[in-house]
């Protein structure tokens, strides 16, 4: 889909449909819509009365121009109350606009960002609408023999003339962010029989080739030589061998060096502590953290920020087998910490343990891991919000503040010394489960803490809830969401200044 910036009058729009927005507070039609209404001989105001269109959020009014106007349709979408408006609402409205384009088979439209600009923030709104359009237009239908072949081709985004250049820049960034997020969604949506650890490594290699990243893939023998026994224990039960992936983006004038780690379980059956059927569904999404790291690399390949970035994934599949690791096993991780296994379904933290030791040795300025780590995090915060933990409040705040701009909801969960007691093991340094199920997201975070160099600021993002959804919400169709690609990429951009 092509994006263009324009600042012409709505009535002169050369496109199939003009899409604008009306706030609840706007009792009369906005000036330019009123002029269109005149050209259409009052059709807009008549239909507005007829369907009692009052600017309620997401409500749509479609008016055909029947040869009277330049565009074939004028579409008004309710923007809700001005008081409640924010950038994420603009994303949702972008998604509503593209959905309307799809179901009316309108391939070209002008979307009026200026109509949503309350405080002259046209460029940011243009970016948010662009993100919403691209994210809302996403579908995963490659395996369907019958699919909707229609694709919208062109969106013109209308802003005030003085903001044309600034909007152009922001729309370019929005397009890169949303396309990278869709790339992540595509990977997460692929099932375990298509993406296994080897395949994930190949995808990382392709990315490296496309954007000129360094890439190193370690096989099972090399993983063993590096002493990553916790990770290997998880991988042992699968016929698909593990692959440890290390991508590096190294620009000439890097302001900082940041390591990203993604949980990459291409499938999580639970292992010997096998999951009951209903809980095993969607466990192809247990690689969502890894796929987010790959999506973030795609975005930085395009945006080229002045910050060095490592992307590390300990890819594995958790399966029950004669070779599987067992409850009660004691394993020594890369940093010498011994782990007693309480449950083989708490496997993500074991793969992350060795990956966190590995990135700690790189001595980056910060470490951020993202992982579909615990069902407990979904119980604590609901399906739409990620849990954020870590060892450095400044870094946590920075991630939380960024997430407020991107609309990817995140909330901090508190570490404390009492819960630290809960991961003490009977026969080893640390247990891979808590002694009670209370605070399960936090005890998982506290487990990870044991494998991070204390001197390096570290943030853990538990995305078990928002990485995937079964119904679709806002600009997310059902399935993978691509969470938190936009937040972390934006964070990296902010650290390149």
Residues with catalytic function: 275, 349
Q: Which of 179, 286 has the CB closer to Zn ion?
A: 286
Give dist(CA 3, CA 438) in Å, integer.
Answer: 48
Stretch that binds ligand BES, among 154-162, 188-196, 302-310, 343-351 (CB under 6 A): 343-351
Kindly write down the DSSP assignment for every residue of 159-186, as one continuous string: --GGGHHHHHHHHHHHHHHHHHHHHHHH
- Six-digit token pair at 402? 């960024």
Among 88, 114, 131, 347, binds ligand BES (CB under 6 A): 347
Site for ligand BES in 275-294 (CB under 6 A): 286
Helix (H), strand (E) at residue 101: helix 87-104
Give burial (CB, 10 Å; 0-12/13-18/19+) of 2. Answer: exposed
- Contact residues toward Zn ion (CB under 5 A) are 265, 268, 286, 345, 347-348
DSSP reduced 3-state for 17:
strand
Closest by CA to 461, choosing from 298, 248, 289, is 289
Nearer to ligand BES, 46 or 379 (CB): 379
CB of 346 to ligand BES, least distance (A): 4
Among Zn ion, ligand BES, none, the one that 374 touches (CB under a kind-dependent 5 to 8 A) is: ligand BES
- Residues listed for the chain: 497
Contact between 79 and ligand BES per CB under 6 A? no
Judged by CB under 6 A, does residue 343 bind ligand BES?
yes
Our finding on whether 462 is near ligand BES (CB under 6 A) is: no
Question: What does the per-residue mask of binding to ligand BES show for 348-387, with x meaning CB under 6 A?
Answer: x-----------------------xxxxx-----------
Write down the least CB distance from residue 363 to Zn ion, Å: 28
Instruction: Fill in the per-residue mask, 242 to 271: x = in contact with ligand BES (CB under 6 A), - = not in contact.
Output: --------------------------x---
Give the DSSP letter of residue 16: S
Q: What is the CA radius of gyration of the chain?
A: 24
Query: How far is the CA of 10 from the CAs of 32, 46, 87, 332, in angstroms?
Result: 7, 19, 22, 66
Give the residue, chosen from 345, 354, 408, 449, that forms a contact with ligand BES under the rule CB under 6 A: 345
Binding to ligand BES in span 87-116, by CB under 6 A: none
CB-based contact 348:373 (threshold 8 Å): yes
Q: In Å, what is the CA distance from 322 to each residue of 227, 236, 237, 326?
A: 22, 9, 7, 10
HSE-CB of 200 using CA atoms within 13 angstroms: 45
Binding status of residue 446 toward ligand BES by CB under 6 A: no
Cβ 398 to Zn ion shortest distance, Å: 27
| 283 close to 310: Cβ distance less than 8 angstroms | no
User: Is residue 338 at the binding interface for ligand BES, with CB under 6 A as the rule?
Assistant: no
Task: Choose between 301 and 348: whose C-beta lies nearer to ligand BES.
Answer: 348
376 binds, among Zn ion, ligand BES, none (CB under 5 to 8 A by kind): ligand BES
Return the number of the residue (116 or 233) whose C-beta is nearest ligand BES. 233
* H runs (alpha helix) in 247-392: 277-280, 288-303, 348-361, 375-381
463 near ligand BES, rule: CB under 6 A = no
Closest contact distance (angstroms) between CB of 163 and Zn ion is 45
Residue closer to ligand BES by CB (options 16, 287) is: 287
Residues that bind ligand BES (CB under 6 A): 268, 286, 343, 345-348, 372-376, 433, 440, 464
């Amino acid at each position: 889909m092509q994006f263009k910036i324009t600042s012409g009058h709505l009535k002169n729009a050369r496109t199939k449909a003009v899409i604008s927005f009306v706030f609840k507070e706007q009792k009369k039609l906005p000036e330019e819509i009123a002029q269109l209404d005149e050209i259409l001989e009052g059709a807009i105001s008549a239909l507005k009365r007829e369907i009692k269109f009052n600017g309620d959020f997401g409500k749509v009014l479609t008016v055909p121009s029947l040869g009277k106007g330049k565009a074939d349709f004028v579409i008004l979408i309710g923007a809700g109350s001005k008081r409640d408006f924010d950038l994420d609402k603009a994303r949702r409205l972008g998604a509503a606009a593209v959905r309307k384009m799809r179901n009316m088979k309108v391939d070209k439209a002008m979307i009026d960002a200026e109509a949503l600009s309350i405080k002259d923030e046209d460029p940011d709104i243009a970016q948010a609408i662009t993100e919403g359009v691209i994210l809302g237009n996403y579908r995963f239908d490659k395996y369907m023999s019958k699919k909707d072949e229609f694709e919208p081709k062109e969106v013109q985004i209308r802003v005030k003339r003085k903001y044309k250049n600034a909007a152009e820049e922001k729309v370019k960034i929005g397009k890169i962010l949303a396309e990278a997020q869709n790339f992540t969604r595509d990977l997460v949506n692929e099932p375990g029989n298509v993406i296994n650890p080897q395949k994930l490594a190949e995808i990382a290699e392709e990315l490296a080739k496309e954007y000129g990243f360094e890439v190193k893939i370690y096989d099972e023998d090399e993983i063993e030589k590096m002493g990553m026994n916790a990770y290997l224990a998880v991988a042992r039960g699968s016929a698909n061998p593990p692959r440890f992936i290390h991508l590096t983006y190294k620009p000439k004038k890097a302001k900082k060096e940041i390591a990203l780690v993604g949980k990459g379980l291409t499938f999580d059956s639970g292992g010997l502590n096998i999951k009951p059927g209903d809980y095993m569904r969607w466990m192809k999404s247990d690689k969502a953290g890894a796929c987010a790291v790959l999506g973030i690399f795609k975005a930085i390949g395009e945006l080229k920020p002045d910050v060095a970035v490592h992307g590390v994934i300990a890819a594995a599949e958790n399966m029950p087998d004669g070779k599987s690791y067992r409850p009660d096993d004691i394993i020594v991780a890369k940093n010498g910490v011994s782990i007693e296994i309480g449950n083989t379904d708490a496997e993500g933290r074991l793969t992350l343990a060795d990956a966190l030791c590995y990135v700690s040795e790189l001595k980056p300025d910060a470490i951020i891991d993202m992982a579909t780590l615990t069902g407990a995090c979904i119980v604590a915060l609901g399906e739409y919000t990620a849990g954020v933990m870590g060892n450095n409040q400044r870094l946590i705040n920075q991630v939380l503040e960024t997430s407020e701009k991107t609309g990817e909801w995140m909330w901090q969960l508190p570490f404390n010394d009492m819960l630290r007691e809960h991961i003490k093991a009977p026969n080893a340094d640390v247990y891979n489960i808590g002694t009670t199920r209370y605070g399960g997201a936090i005890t998982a975070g506290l487990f990870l803490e044991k494998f991070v160099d204390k001197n390096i600021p570290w943030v853990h993002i538990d995305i078990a809830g928002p990485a995937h959804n079964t119904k679709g919400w806002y600009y997310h169709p059902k399935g993978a969401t691509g969470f938190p690609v936009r937040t972390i990429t934006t964070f990296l951009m902010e650290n390149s200044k």
